[in-house]
């Protein structure tokens, strides 16, 4: 394990950015989102959650697939180049790292999504333990330990020191690049990191959502949950906006669209939301015609369909962004609790 | 709140209304959700406190299609939206029983978070009965407190007043919360150079994730099919591919609600990226007031909306340049 | 002609002209052999009131450097009152564009009757000159539409 004083972080970022692209939580117009590092970017490592999850780094909100150009009678088709530049994403939290694992299941399974795979190959994830988890967090429910994040390099911010621990080959390679600004950590340091971990876990125990029970949600309960009358009640306040999907670290549905540039067509894909009325619209129409069905789709996908196809892995990571951001204060926790309550009443 | 619940129960029991549209207690101290209650028992979950900022008028579009009357709880500012929707024939007056509820300013959890208050377990001082002007917030990380006014939504600082524009009965007291000029920020931007203006909006709008929360929550945005959703045009864009798109979306949206926007502030409340979207709407309102005389949408159901009206002596569009 | 001269800035200008007055005014300008720059592309609309704010923004999106709207003089609208509504709309829209930092010379409204070929020609010449001085539109417009 290594360490670096908080005030020297800029030197660390400068070194990384000298060798690779660097993305980290940056504050713009009062909101923290992942963005490219620059000398005058306002880096914010204290805010626990970025508004948007960092999934953009691997699965951007919109990306070009190819461009057609018409030049007189000549038509050319230019496929978009795959990511070739190495990059580092710094400061991802444990839940967001699990989010990437969920995306891997989708995009790296056969047929492999080449755009995504290229980004995964070239990206190095530096995660950061959650110093002060918040009341909307429920990662523990999904077996995520926010005190000990996975990733290529794990880091802990304890007082004024950042502790740096490479976990994979990629992580070792990155450590080599920044070696000159890192110091080796001694036993006392190891101890303070252990204390920090214990403190974080202690807090997680106290969080209101940490005892949420996922009993009754798995790949086997499809028809039972699908046919439940509860959805009719639960969806009512839903405004059909896409906030929950767009801030979610695991939502992976996208739409492919063409844009008329006047001199050709640009085909791009962009995130889609199951909350939108034209989601999965086909020539014959739409197979989910009511908001109740669209609302149900989101939660069934996360808690039933996804585990059914991925060895029981839920596609929710408990980051709590939807809990914080939904305009109508709806969220996955309320859905889980409502079903739990109903189950209790039946029994 | 008890009086409100008592009255709702009475009206449900005597059959005046078939359901109650209000707020249901959430699982955190700050997240009550809009909800329907159709039995007196279900009213046990009913809540009305400082975090009930949601404007319920828009839900009445759907509620108007249901059998029987819906009791709806409207704050003074929500009643403007109600009137505006009535005027546009989007809701049915006979299907709604309006209880004007008192309001002493609504709270913005984002503002509380911005003060560095996290791990919130309990908030006291947000109830309607509480007269204190401080919120006491107990968190996992210790007890914190903040001024009620500092945690208020932007719109409450420029409150249009505590009078309900439409109601069947009133329950609860309202408080004057206005302590700022509604157009101050608009005027500040107007005074900037074009470069500064552009930089300001570019910075704010670059955060937009096109989630459409602003549009979907807006009581004035009640088109059955939004032009930005229609697959008949290539204006239907789901994601922010280019910075121009966000500008187009927000300008067109603000334009489409110009003269109909009551300045209820819901768009800014719900924006996950905290974009001050009201600055677009207020610019139109300010211009309308200056050019065509003061107009408050939703105040008078019979007033002619400024964009469906004209006078022979209206200013020419060239005024924009002349004004400097 | 030198290469530099060829690369000189040629603004793209979209002119929305109402069918009854301004379009006829443009016709008159043409038949009277009055010149106006070829950079102006006219789109005929049934009435100035038909011009949706979206049209203006879309023109900018697709690469216009300036957009001008011409209609019948107030009081002379073929449909009696169309241009009065258009006048209010455009005033508000232009004010909004100014507000977000778009140079206000890039948009203009001019009332041109069927008899005003000269006015049409001078207006267009002036407008093109104005856009020339403002240069390329970089603040509005979709990057994907650029070459």
Task: Kindly report, residue by residue over B261-305, the tens digit of the pLDDT.
Answer: 999 999 999 999 999 999 999 999 999 999 999 999 999 999 999
Please indicate if any CB of chain C lies within 8 Å of the CB of B80. no
Please indicate if any CB of chain C lies within 8 Å of the CB of B258. yes
Q: Which residues of C touch A266 (CB under 8 A)?
A: 144
Q: Which residues of A touch B244 (CB under 8 A)?
A: none
| Chain B residue nearest residue C89, CA to CA | B307
Option in C63, C144, C147 nearest A259 (CB): C144
Structure tokens at B167: 């109601």
Give the Cα separation of A158 and A200 in Å (integer).
Answer: 11
Give the Cα separation of B141 and B120 in Å (integer).
Answer: 8
DSSP state of A238: -
Alpha carbon of B17: minimum distance to chain C alpha carbons (Å): 42
Alpha carbon of A6: minimum distance to chain C alpha carbons (Å): 39
Distance set, CA B69 to CA A232, A237, B65 (Å)? 20, 18, 10
Q: What is the DSSP string of C65-132?
A: SEEEEEEPPTT-BTTBSHHHHHHHHHHHHHHHHHHTT--GGGEEEEE--TT-HHHHHHHHHHHHHHHH
Give the Cα separation of A135 and A142 in Å (integer).
Answer: 16
| Chain B residue nearest residue A246, CA to CA | B211
Within 13 Å and on the Cβ side, how many CA atoms surround A67?
A: 15
- The segments of chain A whose pLDDT lies below 50 read 347
Residues 6 or more apart in contact with residue A227 via CB below 8 angstroms: none
Binding partners of C (≥3 Cβ pairs within 8 A): A, B
Residue A31 lies in a domain: yes
Structure tokens at A88: 């580092």
Give the Cα separation of A80 and A66 in Å (integer).
Answer: 5
Give the Cα separation of C110 and C127 in Å (integer).
Answer: 10
Are the Cβ atoms of C94 and B320 closer than 8 angstroms?
A: yes
Tell me the mean pLDDT in the region C67-81. Answer: 95
Are the Cβ atoms of B274 and A30 closer than 8 angstroms?
A: yes
Q: Which residues, in sequence order, are bridge partners of residue C56?
A: none
Q: Which residues of B touch A334 (CB under 8 A)?
A: 26-27, 33
Please indicate if any CB of chain B lies within 8 Å of the CB of A42. no
Last residue in a domain, options A157, A177, A206: A206
Tell me the mean pLDDT in the region B245-273. Answer: 94
* Geometric angle at alpha carbon A43, from A39 and A47, rounded to 5°: 175
Residue A272 lies in a domain: yes
Distance set, CA C118 to CA A145, B273, C12 (Å)? 77, 51, 22
Structure tokens at A218: 């798995």
Q: What is the pLDDT of residue B237?
A: 67
Q: What is the pLDDT of residue C33?
A: 94
Q: What is the pLDDT of residue B241?
A: 65
Structure tokens at A202: 């202690």
Residue A257 lies in a domain: yes
Q: How many residues belong to chain B?
A: 324
Q: What is the pLDDT of residue A260?
A: 86
Residue A217 lies in a domain: no
Strands (E), chain B: 19-24, 33-37, 70-74, 96-101, 120-124, 134-139, 142-147, 169-171
A-B CB pairs within 8 A amount to 135
The interface predicted TM-score of the complex, written ipTM, equals 0.92
C-alpha B224, offset from chain centre: 20
Q: What is the pLDDT of residue C2?
A: 45
Of B225 and C112, more confident: C112
Q: What is the pLDDT of residue C1?
A: 42
Task: Kindly report, residue by residue over B130-157, the tens digit of the pLDDT.
Answer: 777 899 999 999 999 999 999 999 999 9
8 Å CB contact between A153 and A164: yes
Within 13 Å and on the Cβ side, how many CA atoms surround A74?
A: 4
The dihedral of CA C117, C122, C123, C129: what is its sign?
positive
A335 with A197, same domain: the answer is no
Q: Which residues, in sequence order, are bridge partners of residue B136?
A: B124, B145
Are the Cβ atoms of B252 and C95 closer than 8 angstroms?
A: no
Give the Cα separation of A179 and C107 in Å (integer).
Answer: 57
Q: What is the pLDDT of residue A222?
A: 87
Alpha carbon of C28: minimum distance to chain B alpha carbons (Å): 25
Are the Cβ atoms of B31 and A323 closer than 8 angstroms?
A: yes
Are the Cβ atoms of A28 and B119 closer than 8 angstroms?
A: no
pLDDT band at residue B244 under the 50/70/90 scheme = confident
Alpha carbon of A62: minimum distance to chain C alpha carbons (Å): 13
Structure tokens at A291: 């908001």
Structure tokens at B245: 């798109």
Strands (E), chain A: 2-5, 21-28, 31-36, 62-71, 74-79, 87-92, 123-128, 153-158, 161-166, 183-184, 254-260, 264-271
Confirm whether pTM is higher than 0.90: yes
Structure tokens at A209: 């959502």
What is the gyration radius of the CA atoms in chain A, in angstroms?
Answer: 22
Are the Cβ atoms of C144 and A263 closer than 8 angstroms?
A: no
Residue A306 lies in a domain: yes
Whether the bond between A111 and the residue before it is cis, its omega within 30 degrees of 0, is yes
Measured in degrees and rounded to the nearest 5, phi and psi for residue C50 equal: -75, -20
Alpha carbon of B311: minimum distance to chain A alpha carbons (Å): 38
Please indicate if any CB of chain C lies within 8 Å of the CB of B324. no
What ranges do the domains of chain B cover?
2-171, 184-318
**B236, pLDDT greater than 70:** no
A53 with A177, same domain: the answer is yes
Are the Cβ atoms of C144 and A266 closer than 8 angstroms?
A: yes
Q: What is the pLDDT of residue B202?
A: 92
Tell me what the pLDDT averaged over chain B comes to: 92
Are the Cβ atoms of C62 and A262 closer than 8 angstroms?
A: yes
Chain C interface residues (partner B, CB cutoff 8 A): 53-54, 57-58, 61, 74-75, 81, 84-85, 87-105, 107-109, 139-144
8 Å CB contact between A91 and A45: yes
Pairing of strands B142-147, B134-139: antiparallel
A168 with A272, same domain: the answer is no
Give the Cα separation of B106 and B104 in Å (integer).
Answer: 7
Are the Cβ atoms of A329 and B32 closer than 8 angstroms?
A: yes
A195 with A65, same domain: the answer is yes
Q: How many residues belong to chain C?
A: 147
Are the Cβ atoms of A272 and B238 closer than 8 angstroms?
A: yes
pLDDT band at residue C146 under the 50/70/90 scheme = confident
Distance set, CA A34 to CA A9, A27, A61, A88, B238 (Å)? 17, 8, 13, 12, 21
Structure tokens at B130: 């509480």
A196 with A226, same domain: the answer is no
Are the Cβ atoms of B211 and A241 closer than 8 angstroms?
A: yes
Are the Cβ atoms of A241 and B217 closer than 8 angstroms?
A: yes
Q: Which residues of B touch A246 (CB under 8 A)?
A: 209-211, 272
Please indicate if any CB of chain A lies within 8 Å of the CB of B190. no
**B240, pLDDT greater than 70:** no
Structure tokens at B311: 């006078």
Structure tokens at B3: 């009086």
Option in B59, B203, B241 nearest A29 (CB): B203
Print the domain residue range for A38: 2-206
Neighbours of A145 (CB within 10 A): 16
Residue carrying structure tokens 């009341």: A135
Distance set, CA C138 to CA B143, B246, C61 (Å)? 51, 16, 10
Tell me what the pLDDT averaged over chain C comes to: 91
A193 with A228, same domain: the answer is no
Measured in degrees and rounded to the nearest 5, phi and psi for residue B220 equal: -80, -25
Q: What is the pLDDT of residue C4?
A: 52
Give the Cα separation of C56 and C61 in Å (integer).
Answer: 9
Query: B residues 5-34 near A, CB within 8 Å?
Result: 26-28, 31-34
Q: What is the DSSP string of B27-43?
A: SSTT--EEEEE-STTGG
Measured in degrees and rounded to the nearest 5, phi and psi for residue B100 equal: -75, 115
The fraction of chain C above a pLDDT of 90, given in percent, is: 83
Are the Cβ atoms of A328 and B141 closer than 8 angstroms?
A: no
| Chain C residue nearest residue A267, CA to CA | C144
Of C6 and B109, more confident: B109
Q: Which of B137, B152, B45, B47 is nearest to A135 (CA)?
A: B137
Alpha carbon of C2: minimum distance to chain B alpha carbons (Å): 34
Please indicate if any CB of chain C lies within 8 Å of the CB of B276. no
Measured in degrees and rounded to the nearest 5, phi and psi for residue B202 equal: -60, -45
Binding partners of A (≥3 Cβ pairs within 8 A): B, C
Residue A169 lies in a domain: yes
A140 with A174, same domain: the answer is yes
DSSP state of C5: H
Measured in degrees and rounded to the nearest 5, phi and psi for residue B91 equal: -130, 165
Are the Cβ atoms of C88 and B306 closer than 8 angstroms?
A: yes
3-state secondary structure of A93: coil
Residue A215 lies in a domain: no
Number of domains observed in the structure of chain A: 2
| Chain A residue nearest residue B266, CA to CA | A327
Alpha carbon of B201: minimum distance to chain C alpha carbons (Å): 6
Query: C residues 45-104 near A, CB within 8 Å?
Result: 62-63
């Amino acid at each position: 394990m290594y360490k670096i004083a908080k005030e020297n972080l800029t030197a660390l970022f400068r070194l990384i950015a000298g060798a690779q692209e660097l993305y980290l939580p940056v504050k713009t117009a009062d909101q923290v989102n992942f963005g490219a590092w620059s000398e005058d970017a306002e880096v914010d490592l204290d805010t626990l959650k970025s508004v948007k999850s960092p999934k953009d780094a691997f699965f951007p909100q919109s990306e070009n697939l190819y461009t057609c150009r018409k030049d007189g009678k000549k038509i050319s088709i230019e496929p978009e180049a795959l990511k070739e530049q190495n990059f580092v994403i710094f400061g991802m939290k444990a839940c967001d790292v699990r989010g990437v694992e969920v995306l891997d299941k989708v995009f790296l399974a056969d047929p492999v999504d080449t755009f995504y795979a290229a980004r995964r190959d070239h990206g190095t994830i530096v995660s950061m333990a959650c110093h002060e988890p918040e009341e909307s967090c429920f990662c523990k429910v999904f077996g995520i330990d926010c005190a000990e994040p996975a990733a290529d390099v794990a880091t802990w911010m304890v007082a004024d020191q950042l502790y740096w621990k490479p976990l994979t080959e990629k992580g070792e390679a990155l450590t080599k690049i920044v070696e000159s600004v890192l110091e080796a950590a001694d036993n006392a340091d190891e101890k303070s990191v252990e204390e920090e971990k214990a403190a974080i876990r202690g807090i997680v125990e106290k969080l209101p959502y940490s005892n949420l029970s996922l009993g009754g949600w798995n790949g086997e309960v499809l028809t039972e949950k699908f046919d439940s009358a509860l959805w009719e009640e639960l969806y009512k306040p839903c405004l059909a906006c896409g906030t929950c999907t767009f801030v979610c670290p695991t939502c992976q549905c996208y739409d492919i669209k063409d844009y008329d540039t006047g001199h050709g067509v640009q085909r791009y894909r962009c995130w889609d939301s199951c909350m939108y009325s034209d989601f999965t619209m086909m020539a014959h129409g739409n197979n989910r015609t009511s908001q109740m069905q669209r609302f149900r789709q989101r939660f069934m996908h996360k808690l039933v369909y996804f585990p059914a196809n991925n060895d029981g892995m839920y596609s929710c990571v408990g980051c709590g962004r939807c809990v914080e951001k939904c305009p109508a204060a709806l969220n996955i926790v309320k859905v889980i609790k409502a079903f739990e309550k109903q189950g209790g009443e039946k029994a | 709140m008890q009086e409100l619940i008592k009255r709702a129960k009475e009206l449900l029991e005597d059959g005046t209304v078939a359901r109650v549209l209000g707020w249901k207690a959430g699982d955190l101290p700050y997240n009550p959700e809009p909800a329907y209650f159709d039995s007196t028992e279900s009213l046990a979950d009913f809540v009305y406190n400082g975090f009930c900022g949601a404007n319920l008028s828009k839900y009445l579009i759907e509620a108007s299609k249901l059998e029987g009357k819906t009791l709806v709880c409207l704050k003074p500012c929500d009643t403007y939206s109600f009137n505006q929707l009535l005027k546009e024939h989007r809701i049915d007056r006979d299907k709604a029983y309006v209880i004007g509820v008192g309001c002493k300013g609504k709270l913005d959890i984002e503002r509380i978070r911005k003060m560095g208050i996290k791990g919130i377990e309990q908030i006291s001082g947000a109830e309607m009965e509480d007269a204190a002007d401080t919120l006491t917030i107990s968190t996992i990380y210790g007890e914190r407190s903040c001024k009620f006014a500092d945690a208020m939504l932007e719109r409450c600082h420029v409150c249009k007043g505590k009078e309900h524009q439409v109601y069947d009965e009133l329950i609860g007291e309202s408080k004057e919360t206005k302590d700022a000029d509604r157009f101050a920020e608009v005027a500040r931007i107007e005074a900037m150079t074009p470069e500064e203006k552009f930089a300001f909006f570019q910075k704010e709008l670059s955060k937009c994730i096109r989630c459409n929360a602003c549009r979907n929550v807006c009581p004035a945005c009640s088109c059955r099919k939004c032009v930005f959703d229609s697959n008949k045009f290539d204006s239907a864009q789901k994601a922010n591919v280019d910075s121009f798109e966000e500008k187009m979306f927000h300008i067109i949206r603000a334009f489409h609600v110009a003269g109909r926007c009551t300045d209820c502030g819901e768009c800014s409340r719900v924006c996950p990226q905290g974009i001050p979207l009201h600055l677009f709407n207020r610019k139109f309102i300010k211009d309308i007031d200056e050019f065509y005389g003061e107009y408050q949408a939703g105040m008078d159901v019979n007033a002619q909306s400024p964009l469906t009206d004209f006078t022979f002596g209206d200013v020419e569009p060239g005024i924009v340049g002349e004004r400097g | 002609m030198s290469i530099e001269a060829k690369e000189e800035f040629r603004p793209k200008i979209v002119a929305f002209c109402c069918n009854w007055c301004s379009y006829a005014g443009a016709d008159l300008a043409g038949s009277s052999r009055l010149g106006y720059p070829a950079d102006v592309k006219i789109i005929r609309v049934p009435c100035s009131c038909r011009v949706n704010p979206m049209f203006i923004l879309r023109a900018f999106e697709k690469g216009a450097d300036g957009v001008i709207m011409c209609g019948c003089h107030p009081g002379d609208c073929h449909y009696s009152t169309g241009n009065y509504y258009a006048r209010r709309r455009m005033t508000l829209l232009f004010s909004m564009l100014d507000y977000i930092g778009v140079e206000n010379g890039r948009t203009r409204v001019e009332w041109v009757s069927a008899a005003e070929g000269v006015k049409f020609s001078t207006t267009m010449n002036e407008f093109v000159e104005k856009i020339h001085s403002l240069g390329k539109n970089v603040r509005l417009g979709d990057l994907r539409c650029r070459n």
